[in-house]
Amino acid sequence: MTEIRKENVYFLGQAGRLAGDCWTPGAPGRGTVLLLHGGGQTRHSWGAAGATLAGAGWTTVAIDSRGHGDSDWAVDGRYGLDAIVEDVTEVVHALPEPPVVIGASLGGLTGLVLAGEQSAVIRALVLVDAVPRIEPAGAHRIAAFMSSAPDGFGSLEEVADAIREYQPQRSRPVNLQGLRKNVRQGPDGRWRWHWDPAFLRPPEAPEAARMSARIRAAAAQVRVPTLLVRGALSDVVSEDGATDLLRMIPQARFADVAGTGHMVAGDDNSVFLTEVSGFLDEVDKP
């Protein structure tokens, strides 16, 4: 492990400022990794991964997507895949070299579109429980959780209880102050999720069909080294969904992480990082 330095960084996206964290290795680096979170998450979900990857020699950047965390909200309410791809394209061009993109869920689909449509700007791709064909029941469960507390919470204890109900396989945090990264306290004293409520507006059917077609078309054009990491207990990405992706990207590697759900990296970060580290070693071979 090399000595690492962590600092806040900012990028300019199409909707405004995008906040991020950057972990820089002390020794000469092996390349750059860009971490993209899923819908309803923030860059902080990558904290352990960022430090570990930087310790292995990778300059690692994690950003908050538009409308999430500390990034600006979109005044026009655009939060579809097109808009997020536009933002990440700006970030990629601002980096010193084509990065390895590691994306979870929506972040993974963003990386998939970039890899298929702009292969020259991506060195490699890791999809974390993200495939073109997702399971409707799992997607609906996520949407229900994200929209379940429109009036917020009276305390951080209530926030912890809501997360525990949504992710019963996770331990309830002992120190609740860490939850301040997931919620904001309003003038009325109540705690609300960090994302712009406009993010939850579902697209109209024709728009959803167009986005789905764009993702599948991009997947068929991916030529960069690719790894799909699936949570074996995921209700969002099924075995059939993984097989469908692997048919479109036959050169891709696949890892099914036992005992984890859709939030693979958080459910078992050590196994997740072992799989990713092995893949990055292959990518970094001369």
Instruction: Indicate the helix (H) or strand (E) that contains 114.
Output: helix 106-117
How many helices and strands, by DSSP H and E, does the chain display? 9, 10
Query: What predicted TM-score, i.e. pTM, was given to this entire model?
Result: 0.95
pLDDT band at 31 (very low <50, low <70, confident <90, very high): very high
The percentage of residues in the chain with a pLDDT greater than 70, rounded to a whole number, is 98
Residue 257 pLDDT greater than 80, yes or no = yes
Q: What is the rounded average pLDDT for all residues in the chain? A: 92
> Residue 60 has what pLDDT?
97
Q: Is residue 177 part of a domain?
A: no
Q: Is residue 91 part of a domain?
A: yes
Phi, psi dihedrals of residue 64, rounded to the nearest 5°:
-85, 125
Structural domains counted in the chain:
1
What's the whole-number mean pLDDT along residues 36-53?
93
Q: Is residue 148 part of a domain?
A: no
pLDDT band at 80 (very low <50, low <70, confident <90, very high): very high
> Residue 61 has what pLDDT?
98
Pairing of strands 4-13, 16-25: antiparallel
Instruction: Indicate the helix (H) or strand (E) that contains 275.
Output: helix 269-283
Measuring CA to CA, which residue among 11, 38, 10, 9 is closest to residue 22? Answer: 9
Packing angle between helix 205-219 and helix 106-117, nearest 10 degrees?
A: 60
pLDDT band at 15 (very low <50, low <70, confident <90, very high): very high
Radius of gyration of the chain (CA): 18
Residues 6+ apart with CB under 8 A from 275: 227, 229, 255, 257
Instruction: Indicate the helix (H) or strand (E) that contains 132.
Output: none
Q: Is-contact 27 52, C-beta < 8 A?
A: no
Q: Is residue 61 part of a domain?
A: yes
Measuring CA to CA, which residue among 73, 55, 57, 46 is closest to residue 193? Answer: 73
State how far the Cα of 11 lies from the Cα of 9, in Å rounded to an integer: 7
Residue 282 pLDDT greater than 80, yes or no = yes
State how far the Cα of 234 lies from the Cα of 81, in Å rounded to an integer: 22
| Predicted confidence (pLDDT) per residue in 64-76, tens digit | 999 999 999 999 9
Measuring CA to CA, which residue among 5, 54, 4 is closest to residue 30? Answer: 54
> Residue 174 has what pLDDT?
73
CA 205 from chain center: how many Å?
24
19-23, 76-80, 111-115, 148-152 — which is least confidently predicted? 148-152
Residue predicted with more confidence, 260 or 39: 39
Which CA distances in Å does 87 have to 9, 83, 156? 15, 6, 32
State how far the Cα of 132 lies from the Cα of 196, in Å rounded to an integer: 25
pLDDT band at 230 (very low <50, low <70, confident <90, very high): very high
Q: Is residue 179 part of a domain?
A: no
pLDDT band at 266 (very low <50, low <70, confident <90, very high): low
User: What range does the domain containing 100 cover?
Assistant: 4-138+205-283
Q: Is-contact 121 96, C-beta < 8 A?
A: no
At 82, is the secondary structure helix, strand, or coil?
A: helix
130-144, 173-187, 217-231 — which is least confidently predicted? 173-187
State how far the Cα of 230 lies from the Cα of 234, in Å rounded to an integer: 7
> Residue 269 has what pLDDT?
66
Residue 204: other Cβ atoms inside 10 A:
9
Q: Is residue 28 part of a domain?
A: yes
pLDDT band at 285 (very low <50, low <70, confident <90, very high): confident
> Residue 271 has what pLDDT?
81
State how far the Cα of 22 lies from the Cα of 24, in Å rounded to an integer: 6
Residue predicted with more confidence, 171 or 219: 219
| Predicted confidence (pLDDT) per residue in 146-189, tens digit | 998 999 999 999 999 998 888 877 777 778 888 898 899 999 99
Q: Is residue 195 part of a domain?
A: no
State how far the Cα of 135 lies from the Cα of 229, in Å rounded to an integer: 16
> Residue 268 has what pLDDT?
55
The CATH number that applies at residue 266 is 3.40.50.1820
